[in-house]
Amino acid sequence: MTELIVNTRAANTVLSSSILGADIVRQIGKLGSKSSTSEINIISTDNAVEERLFDALSRVKRLTAMVAMHLDAAWRQNLFSQLDGLHDPAEWELDDEPVKESSFATFLKAIVEIRPERRPGLGLSQAGHLIAAWTTGRDRLTIEFLPNDQVRWVLSRYYDDEPVRIAGQMAVSRLVEQLAPYEPARWFCRESKSDLPAG
Amino acid sequence: MSEQAYKQPPITEAVIEIRFATPNDDATIAKASGDFKSHYPQEDAATNVAIQLYLPTGMEIKTMAQTLEKKGRRRSSMDQTQLVLLWPDNFVISQLAPYPGWDAFFERFRRDWEIWKRGIGYKKISRIGVRYINRIDIPLSGPLLEYERFLNIYAYLPESLGPVSSYAVQAQLPLQEIGCKLTLSSGLVPSPVLRHVSFVFDQDIAKEETPPQNDDEIYNLLNEIRVKKNIVFETCVTDEARRLFNP
């Protein structure tokens, strides 16, 4: 009998267990490599509210670790405090959705690109999409981060006491150029540099 | 203080793993996990699933599949950057980014290894491994990226084949000076940063033949591996890449 072992590491390749290793092998596997892995998968079995919130928070914090080298440590810690506050089990409604990893991935892409000096107020949509809002005087920018690198945004700006309201939906990679005509520095920048993302 | 060569080290995960010759049972792992509670308040049940397929040779192919499950515990810090993985046959500490430097990482290993041994006692060690997974995010400035300007490890192809859209390479080398085996993996991965191309550079250095069994020798080996992995890393990246780590 010939024994063929599939879905384990290649016969001569035993690697040290890791958290990200399995993801990387999967990503490299998508390139066409036939080597595979039997690394770690975490299976959650408890669906209690606290567990759901904990799992969602853990996932997005680990996702943040993927780009942590591009973020200032204090900015990251404040972000985590905001996320913890948003997912407080004591305040949680049963039919609310915790933050979705796919939405948070889009958020991180935008944040690493924009590097806003001012932290946004954060909220969640019913579907678990992260919503960030910046307000300066009467001017307000609200961005909903959708899965698959999409963003939906609404801004309201006053020109000589006349309000202009504009909305858009697009790939996150176009966000900066699309916001540019509305001088987004009014929302993202401030004189105090105390909580700058790395840059 | 931890020595940090770079302001923004590209390390996405650092791992030290001790593997044992014989497995621990579930109850032992559960008890050991409790000993780590003060350092890692969050706990997950973890299951490692592997599927084996048996394809017998003969006139008629009849495939049999067998699922192998390994249950363990994963404990983590509140910010999810510091983790300890307790499996029946291995003990792992992991550091996700931001990487605090070897000194801090090594001290955490020593602390946790002491806790593990206090709870479990001596177990014969069959493998000691150190793994560093780096991701190098390179800004895109045009339609083509010359990865050779940043990395000294990549797939070599004849120029006549044209530009490469993706690749993955893996190599194993003996590290005779320290009696270890180095497994290098590198490849293109989807970038989590807009307008960047990302390459993984993953090195795993392990001692599988006659690994040390006492603490002093284990710590000495880990420090030797650390020196070697730094040399390997510096050999495999260019000055242009180094500038990315010190913006």
Domain segments of chain B: what residues? 11-24+77-245
To the nearest whole percent, how much of chain B has pLDDT over 90? 78
Closest to A15 in 3D by CA, of B114, B197, B13: B13
Kindly compute the dihedral angle of the four CA atoms of residues A27, B8, B96, B210, in this order, to the nearest 10 degrees: 90
Task: Supply the pLDDT for residue B62.
Answer: 67
| Mutation for A interface: B185, B199, B209, B222, most A CBs within 10 A | B185
- Cβ distance B84 to B75 under 8 Å? yes
Task: Please tell me the distance from the alpha carbon of residue A99 to that of residue A130, in angstroms, as a whole number.
Answer: 6
Contact A45 B45 (CB under 8 A): yes
Omega cis (within 30) before A147: no
Task: Please tell me the distance from the alpha carbon of residue A195 to that of residue A28, in angstroms, as a whole number.
Answer: 36
| Mutation for B interface: A1, A9, A13, A17, most B CBs within 10 A | A17
Query: Quick one: pLDDT band at residue B49, thresholds 50, 70, 90?
Result: confident
Chain A residue numbers touching B47 (CB-CB < 8 A): 41-43
C-alpha distances in Å from residue A19, one per residue of A39, B95, B108, B127: 8, 9, 17, 19
Task: Supply the pLDDT for residue A198.
Answer: 44
- Cβ distance B45 to B148 under 8 Å? no
A156 has which bridge partners? Answer: A140, A165
Strand intervals (E) in B55-179: 64-76, 82-87, 90-96, 125-139, 168-175
Judging by DSSP bridges, how do beta strands B180-189 and B168-175 pair with one another? antiparallel
A114 has which bridge partners? Answer: none
Reported as a single tens digit per residue, the pLDDT across B91-150 is 999 999 999 999 999 999 999 999 999 999 889 999 999 999 999 999 998 778 888 899
Closest to B228 in 3D by CA, of B200, B199, B246, B203: B203
Task: Please tell me the distance from the alpha carbon of residue B117 to that of residue A24, in angstroms, as a whole number.
Answer: 31
CB nearest to B194's CB, from A65, A113, A198: A113
A41 pLDDT exceeds 70? no
Residue type present at position A133: A
State the sign of the Cα–Cα–Cα–Cα dihedral A76, A81, A84, A85: negative
State the sign of the Cα–Cα–Cα–Cα dihedral A41, A46, A47, A52: negative
Query: Quick one: pLDDT band at residue A43, thresholds 50, 70, 90?
Result: very low
Reported as a single tens digit per residue, the pLDDT across A75-113 is 999 999 999 999 999 989 888 899 999 999 999 999 999
Contact A39 B56 (CB under 8 A): no
Task: Please tell me the distance from the alpha carbon of residue B147 to that of residue A181, in angstroms, as a whole number.
Answer: 35
A47 pLDDT exceeds 70? no
In the sheet that holds B82-87, the strands lie side by side as: A3-4, B42-54, B64-76, B82-87, B90-96, B11-20, B125-139, B196-207, B180-189, B168-175
CB nearest to B12's CB, from A16, A20, A77: A20
State the sign of the Cα–Cα–Cα–Cα dihedral B86, B92, B93, B97: negative
Is the complex ipTM more than 0.95? no
Reported as a single tens digit per residue, the pLDDT across B7-37 is 999 999 999 999 999 999 999 999 999 999 9
Task: Please tell me the distance from the alpha carbon of residue B14 to that of residue B222, in angstroms, as a whole number.
Answer: 13
- Cβ distance A117 to A189 under 8 Å? yes
Task: Supply the pLDDT for residue B59.
Answer: 56
**Residue-wise burial string across B71-90, b where 16 or more C-beta atoms lie within 10 A, e elsewhere:** ebbbbbbebbbbbbbbbbbb
The lowest-confidence range among A194-198, B10-14, B94-98, B219-223 is A194-198
Task: Supply the pLDDT for residue A30.
Answer: 52
Query: Quick one: pLDDT band at residue A178, thresholds 50, 70, 90?
Result: very high
Reported as a single tens digit per residue, the pLDDT across A1-34 is 333 333 333 445 677 777 766 666 565 545 443 3
Reported as a single tens digit per residue, the pLDDT across B144-203 is 888 889 999 999 899 899 888 889 999 999 999 999 999 999 999 999 999 999 999 999
A199 pLDDT exceeds 90? no
Fold (topology level) of B11-24+77-245: TATA-Binding Protein (3.30.310)
- Cβ distance B128 to B18 under 8 Å? yes
B69 pLDDT exceeds 90? no
Task: Supply the pLDDT for residue A51.
Answer: 87
